[in-house]
Structure 1
Amino acid sequence: MLGEVLVESDQRPTEPPVFARTGIRVLGSFESRQAPEKLAELIVDRVKQAAPTGSLVLQAFTPDSPAGNRLADEADALLETVRTRLPKDRLLEETWRAREAGAMLVELCVAPGAVMVGSVPAREALSLSPGGRQRMRRPGDAPSRAAMKLEEALINMPFEPGRGEVCVDLGAAPGGWTQRLVARGARVIAVDTAKLLPELAEHQRVEHVHMSAFDYTPEEPADWLFCDMAWRPLEVAQLLAKWGRRGWATHLVANIKLPMKDKNPILLRVRHILTEDGGWQSLTIRQLYHDRDEVTVTAHRAGTL
């Protein structure tokens, strides 16, 4: 342990950790009592050794703990000091372009008593946000905080629902995810026995199917399947597997609730059901910043990438 909420390992895990927000290869660790200018020199030296060429995305974060959060201003100040010592033509300002540009993500972790610098290729990063804390603003017209979970899930994907694409939203009511999909120009089939917000129920690109998600059968394959139901995780996984197995959707974004204390055995079974029974590929399971006792699943149907 490096400190509260920070964990180190000598080996890289074979699967991305579900409950980790970020993961970096530590290039150096320094005592934080040193002058900021000296710290910046040490950090820049390590960065240049590890990544002598190519584009860089430079970020700073603090551990997500009470003691860590108090160091936010210190982290911002150190970030700016380091930034001035790196060639401007190497710093990529548009973080969202980091993966396609083949950039290296460099993160400064300012923790109580220590400062660490680490890196990871942006294409392999768990998140492109500092420390994996992707803070989303809840839209003023959003019916619930569920909208933030969806926005965070989509911002971490290489693509998202486009204008005119067909999205099925299982367990849609009251419409938090449907609302955000409509805002992107998609056509949404919202499946739920409960009511949607009136403005969504009357929207020309929303079809509300008053039916249980477990009983619904689509008339034609959809581009995207979305699901955020407060239901037993294995039953939800089996439902999503059915959609993959029958080719009813191309892309998947789902939220799986995990209220139990020992979550890992259930996660292993969820992964098996989705991949082995459902045929979903490129599966990711992550607890995002806006998730609570739940995880977000993304996947694609075989042969769609």
Structure 2
Amino acid sequence: MLGEVLVESAERPMEPPVFARTGIRVLASLPTAQTLDLTAEAVASRIISALPEAALVLQAFTPDSPAGNRLADDADALLEAVRTRLPADRLLEETWRAREAGATLVELCVAPGGVIVGEVPAREALSLSPGGRQRMRRPTDSPSRAAMKLEEALVNLPYEPGRGEVCVDLGAAPGGWTQRLVARGARVIAVDPAKLMPELTQQPRVEHVQESAFAYTPEEPVDWLCCDMAWRPLEVAQLLAKWGRRGWATHLVANIKLPMKDKNPLLLRVRHILTEEGGWQGLTMRQLYHDRDEVTVTAHRSL
């Protein structure tokens, strides 16, 4: 353990940890400026000597704990001190371009016990947000906070629902996910016995099918299968596997609700169901920043 909510491993896991927000290779672990009675500028000089010679996206964060959150101002000051000492041509300002540019993501974790300097190729990063905290704004017209979960899931994918694509939203009511998909230009088949928010029922690109998600069968394959149902996780996994096995959708974004106990054994079963029984490929499974007692899974099928 490096500190509260920080975990160190001697080897890189075969699969990204489901409950990790970010993952970095530690380059250096330094005392804080307060510990050495140094200025942030002096600590910054030590950090710069540990950085790789590559195009960098430089970020700072604190552990997501009460003690860590109190160091937010220190993290900002240290980040600024390091940035001002690096040549401008080494820093990539547009974080969203980091993966396509082949940049290295460098994170400065300012924790109560010291400063941890780490790196990860942007293409392999779990998230491009500092510390993996991808804070999404809740649209003012959103019927629930569920929309933020979908937005966070999509921002980390190399592709997203676009204009003209067809999405099925299982368990859609009251319509948080459907609303965000329509905003991207997609056509949505919203499946739920319950009613949608009134503005969605008047939206020409929304078709509301008032029946159970478990009974619904699409007339033809669709581009995206989306699901955020508050239902028993293994039954939801079996439903998503059926869609994959029958070739009813190309891309998958879904939330799996978690039990109070035995979370990891259940997630292993969900992974087996989706990949071995459903044929979904490239499966990712993570608890995102806006998730609560749930994880978000994404996957695709070969055409």
TM-score when normalising by structure 1: 0.97
Q: Is there any run of 5+ residues in structure 1 with no aligned partner, and where?
A: none
Alpha-carbon distance in structure 1 between the residues aligned to 2:98 and 2:288: 20
Question: Do the aligned residues in 1 keep the contact of 2:3 with 2:113 (CA within 8 Å)?
Answer: no
Question: Do the aligned residues in 1 keep the contact of 2:162 with 2:184 (CA within 8 Å)?
Answer: yes
Alignment map for 1:42-53 (pairs within 5 Å): 42-47=46-51, 51-53=52-54
Alignment map for 1:43-192 (pairs within 5 Å): 43-47=47-51, 51-53=52-54, 55-192=55-192
- Cα RMSD after superposing both structures: 0.7
Aligned length: 299
Q: What secondary structure is seen at the aligned counterpart in 2 of 1:18?
A: coil
Alignment map for 1:19-38 (pairs within 5 Å): 19-32=19-32, 33=34, 34-38=38-42
Alpha-carbon distance in structure 2 between the residues aligned to 1:239 and 1:227: 10
Alpha-carbon distance in structure 2 between the residues aligned to 1:233 and 1:256: 6
Q: Deviations over 1:237-290 (max 9, x none)?
A: 000000000000000000000032220000000000000000000000000000
Letter in 2 for 1:31: P
Which residue does 2:263 correspond to in 1? Answer: 263
Alpha-carbon distance in structure 2 between the residues aligned to 1:203 and 1:235: 31
Letter in 1 for 2:81: T
Q: What secondary structure is seen at the aligned counterpart in 2 of 1:12?
A: coil
Question: Do the aligned residues in 1 keep the contact of 2:154 with 2:160 (CA within 8 Å)?
Answer: yes
Q: Is there any run of 5+ residues in structure 2 with no aligned partner, and where?
A: none
Alpha-carbon distance in structure 1 between the residues aligned to 2:96 and 2:222: 27
Letter in 1 for 2:234: L
Alignment map for 1:201-220 (pairs within 5 Å): 201-220=201-220
Question: Do the aligned residues in 1 keep the contact of 2:222 with 2:250 (CA within 8 Å)?
Answer: yes
Letter in 1 for 2:177: W
Q: Which moved more, 1:252-261 or 1:144-153?
A: 252-261
Alpha-carbon distance in structure 2 between the residues aligned to 1:212 and 1:125: 37
Moved segments of 4+, more than 2 Å: none
Q: Deviations over 1:93-142 (max 9, x none)?
A: 11111111100000000001301100000010011000000111110000
TM-score when normalising by structure 2: 0.98
Residue 85 of structure 1: how far off its partner (Å): 1.1
Letter in 2 for 1:279: G
Residue 181 of structure 1: how far off its partner (Å): 0.3
Residue 38 of structure 1: how far off its partner (Å): 1.3
Alpha-carbon distance in structure 2 between the residues aligned to 1:96 and 1:18: 23
Which residue does 2:16 correspond to in 1? Answer: 16
Percent same amino acid among aligned pairs?
A: 83
Q: Which moved more, 1:57-66 or 1:259-268?
A: 259-268
Alpha-carbon distance in structure 2 between the residues aligned to 1:93 and 1:155: 18
Q: What secondary structure is seen at the aligned counterpart in 1 of 2:227?
A: strand
Q: Does 1:6 align with 2:6?
A: yes
Alpha-carbon distance in structure 2 between the residues aligned to 1:220 and 1:148: 29
Residue 171 of structure 1: how far off its partner (Å): 0.2
Q: What secondary structure is seen at the aligned counterpart in 2 of 1:46?
A: coil
Alpha-carbon distance in structure 1 between the residues aligned to 2:238 and 2:147: 24
Residue 234 of structure 1: how far off its partner (Å): 0.4
Which residue does 1:230 correspond to in 2? Answer: 230
Q: Does 1:41 align with 2:42?
A: no
Letter in 1 for 2:49: D
